[in-house]
Structure 1
Amino acid sequence: MSKTIPHLPKLGRRGLLLGLTALAVSGQARLAVAAPARSAAPQGRGEARMVVVLLRGALDGLAVVQAYGDPAFRELRQTLALPEPGAEEGVLELGGFFGLHPSMTNLHGMFRGNEALVLHAIAGPYRTRSHFDAQDMLESGADSRLSSGWLNRALQSLPVDADAQGARAALALGLDMPLLLRGPRPVSMFAPPRGEAPPPELYARLADLAHDDPLLGPAVQEGLRARGFASGVLDKEETRGGGFLYLAGSAGRLLAAADGPRVAALEMGGWDTHASQPNRLKGQLAQLDAGLGALREQMGEAWKHCAVLVMTEFGRTVRVNGNNGTDHGTGGAAFLLGGAVAGGRVMADWPGLGQGRLFEDRDLQPSMDLREVAKTLLRDHLRLPAQALDAAFPDSRQVGPKAGLLRD
């Protein structure tokens, strides 16, 4: 049924300890930006901006964009199914059949303003349920891990401005460079200032990472209790903004500057919701939504020329597991935001959730390829040549850009 409707992987003990410094600085969020040539933008539209947001850990697309109109949805999702639009704590209406999670009020406002396009039943070309492999392929743009990312290789087709110094030079905000922007085009690094004390989200993340370790897990839990943290703190529904809000606002200010960068990559972790998914997602989605709202606000007039792709490595299982969560899946949801986007619609060649319609009888069957969306942004938004698309996504000429994503 075709519908166009209007309006971090688990870490070991060593990885956990090595990652604490980065978490203390910016939570689970990182930002990188780059500056393509000014001539890349079409005349009359101003300089095009592009942002890619990576959600690490596999966002449950059926939780954030619920297909309440599918006859099998509520039976399969059980405790994960929210009330329909108009009911208390119900999903936000997306024109019928689909509803947006109520924590995503900024995104819903963009949708109603025709600045957000919801892409459902979407996935990359790979069919792995490994975080490590899927994230590598999502960022490399190939069917294996490469030493460079698809966005960096695409930008190589543009000459570097003669004045590409300071704000116009490539810049990474955080303590790690996402593979997406690694490659031959230079990208500098900048660490955000450290606060007086780690945010509360850090403690929850620390407990989550250590949970399955037989030595660290109990020790971390006991340490948090000794400092006055009840176990319920780790599943708090409230959100305090976190590192993503700070970095998204910073990205907006950088992209808005006349001599600033034109391409940015942000990432946010914490989407691996095997247990207690409803409470965990509520806070995570509120942080993501607040960050996207800050990005839009800080960009000002430059938002008119911006396209933001929000994507994750894969979706999650359709059925709820025994811990009131979901496991690693395949098809999911993505978002395309910005003033350059032909929004106000849900775009989905919906495969259905009924008997015999699930991928391997467990996952949402993908019917759209993430590369279609990325290639559209590279060709039709940044106006990159065909060789840039070939460099970004090798051996993929059978997958072309998708029509109808951007404003004419």
Structure 2
Amino acid sequence: MPGRDTRSSLLVPRRALLLGGAAFAAWAYAPKFARAEAGRDPRLVVIILRGALDGLATVAPLGDPDYAALHGAIALASDGAHPALPLDAMFGLHPAMPEFARMYRDKHAAVVHAVATPYRERSHFDGQDVLESGFAGPGRVQSGWLNRALEALPRGERVNGLAVGPTTPLVLRGAAPTVGWAPVNLPNAADDTAMRLVDLYQQRDPALAAALSQGLLLDKIAQGDEMKPKPGGNPVAAMRQVARGAAKLMAADDGPRIAALAFDGWDTHANEGGPVGRLAQLLSGLDGALAEFETGLGAHWRDSAIVVATEFGRTAKINGTSGTDHGTGTVALLAGGAVNGGRVIADWPGLKPAQLFEARDLVPTTDLRGILKGVLRDHLGLSERVLADSVFPDSALVKPVAGLLV
């Protein structure tokens, strides 16, 4: 329904400017989020890839003898015009991700392969529900696991979460306070117009005037002088722009420490492409977004962790339209100066017909909740009990994965 989407894109930035600005004003009065015992001031970013990422194309198991035949014309290779970027003896990274490969070499990035949420069906709607809500099954969407993690922080360390984009991702919805920001893709009002509005509201509604003033400050910090909206921009540029603005906000002394954003468009049923093509373009945008966070966070990159996850993977075998259908096992990516990187974490299940899930998908051997728990425990200091009872309810049997962070 294009009409509804268009109205939403026009209205949301204004709401973020006014209502989000009020939350931004409160940051100055909020305690700084820091693990005082370690002298750290950690940042955490969660990036949701909506549409189901082809993990076998993103991080290819080049050492598995069954991979090339299954992925056919879109399979990566260790040689040729666009060879996969080497990670280890078994795995190669898609050539559209040179920045992530550099972070991997610098021990600031890692891959978790053959990973999935507890969801075992193939509905995008339900899969995203499970991924972002943190529950074991769909249908319970009152709040997201990242928001509940914010709620569970010690009172002296609670901070606002930053929701990046036109709507707040489910993962960050809930009772804990959040502030929203999205790049404005329409021409901004002139500064003098904005100031006249502030003056007008100052006379009639001081509270609204204060919210507008702080909202203007929020947008100015995020956009910066070099971030002017570019009508008709491509998805790669859009991903970088969003990440650049979020990083600026998170780098501010009184800015948010925890953020969530979602990138759409990863449903590659047809014409997925191999080393070049549609998926390559999307991965290039993601790669650029990670680089923008590294640059924008500056000195805070050292204490930062970024988690990239998707609702499920895609089929091991390509279909008749040079794409892949909804699958199960996939990859999760970790990046940041706080990441214990330079490795692919995988209990590899193999790709022979008898080894595939329901004879079609990569079998998941790692529960994504264990990865998320490991990050939340070791990066933010949440206890295993809180993680099992509140953040990821009914997940006591899923233990946090240790050693993900330095």
Same-fold status (TM-score > 0.5): yes
The equivalent residue for 1:95 is: 88
Report Cα offsets for 1:301-335 as digits up to 9, x if no partner: 10110111000000000000011000000000110
Q: Aligned match of 2:66 in 48, 72, 84?
A: 72
Q: Could you tell me which runs of 5 or more consecutive residues in structure 1 were left unpaired when the two chains were aligned.
A: 1-13, 202-238
Query: In the alignment, is the contact (CA less than 8 A) between 1:121 and 1:364 conserved in 2?
Result: yes
Change (3 A) 1:24 1:348: farther
Q: CA deviation at 1:173?
A: 3.5
The equivalent residue for 1:246 is: 241
3-state DSSP class of the match of 2:130? helix
Change (3 A) 1:42 1:336: farther
Q: Aligned match of 1:192 in 180, 183, 204?
A: 183
Letter paired with 2:185: R
Report Cα offsets for 1:16-71 as digits up to 9, x if no partner: 44234567899xxx9x9998953552533421111100000001000110111101
- Misfit runs of 4+, over 6 Å: 23-26, 32-36
Structure (1/2) with the larger helix percentage: 2
2:4 is aligned with 1:18: yes
- Matches for 1:46-57 after TM superposition, within 5 Å: 46-57=40-51
Query: In the alignment, is the contact (CA less than 8 A) between 1:121 and 1:333 conserved in 2?
Result: yes
* Length, aligned pairs only: 346
The equivalent residue for 1:208 is: none
Query: In the alignment, is the contact (CA less than 8 A) between 2:163 and 2:261 conserved in 1?
Result: no
The equivalent residue for 1:274 is: 269
Change (3 A) 1:272 1:37: farther
Q: CA deviation at 1:120?
A: 0.4
User: Which one has a bigger Cα radius of gyration?
Assistant: 2
Query: In the alignment, is the contact (CA less than 8 A) between 2:307 and 2:334 conserved in 1?
Result: yes
2:173 is aligned with 1:182: yes
Distance in 2, matches of 1:37 and 1:392, equals 22
Distance in 1, matches of 2:287 and 2:293, equals 10
Distance in 2, matches of 1:276 and 1:22, equals 30
The equivalent residue for 1:59 is: 53
Greater relative contact order (CA < 8 Å, ≥ 6 in sequence): 1
Query: In the alignment, is the contact (CA less than 8 A) between 1:49 and 1:305 conserved in 2?
Result: yes
Letter paired with 1:19: D
The equivalent residue for 1:393 is: 392
Letter paired with 2:272: Q
Q: CA deviation at 1:82?
A: 2.0
The equivalent residue for 2:38 is: 44
The equivalent residue for 1:212 is: none
2:295 is aligned with 1:301: no
Q: Aligned match of 2:377 in 371, 375, 379?
A: 379
The equivalent residue for 1:133 is: 126
Letter paired with 2:252: A
Query: In the alignment, is the contact (CA less than 8 A) between 1:199 and 1:242 conserved in 2?
Result: no
Query: In the alignment, is the contact (CA less than 8 A) between 1:249 and 1:298 conserved in 2?
Result: yes
- Aligned Cα root-mean-square deviation (Å): 2.5
Letter paired with 2:371: V
Q: Aligned match of 2:77 in 83, 87, 95?
A: 83
Query: In the alignment, is the contact (CA less than 8 A) between 1:153 and 1:392 conserved in 2?
Result: yes
3-state DSSP class of the match of 1:38? coil
3-state DSSP class of the match of 1:309? strand
Query: In the alignment, is the contact (CA less than 8 A) between 2:113 and 2:331 conserved in 1?
Result: yes
Letter paired with 2:181: F
Query: In the alignment, is the contact (CA less than 8 A) between 1:150 and 1:180 conserved in 2?
Result: yes
Query: In the alignment, is the contact (CA less than 8 A) between 2:33 and 2:257 conserved in 1?
Result: no
Change (3 A) 1:88 1:103: same
3-state DSSP class of the match of 2:381? coil
Report Cα offsets for 1:330-379 as digits up to 9, x if no partner: 00011011111110001100000013000000000000011001111111
2:312 is aligned with 1:314: yes
Query: In the alignment, is the contact (CA less than 8 A) between 2:32 and 2:254 conserved in 1?
Result: no
The equivalent residue for 2:347 is: 349
Q: Aligned match of 1:109 in 102, 108, 117?
A: 102
Distance in 2, matches of 1:122 and 1:332, equals 5
Query: In the alignment, is the contact (CA less than 8 A) between 1:104 and 1:286 conserved in 2?
Result: yes
Distance in 2, matches of 1:129 and 1:112, equals 34
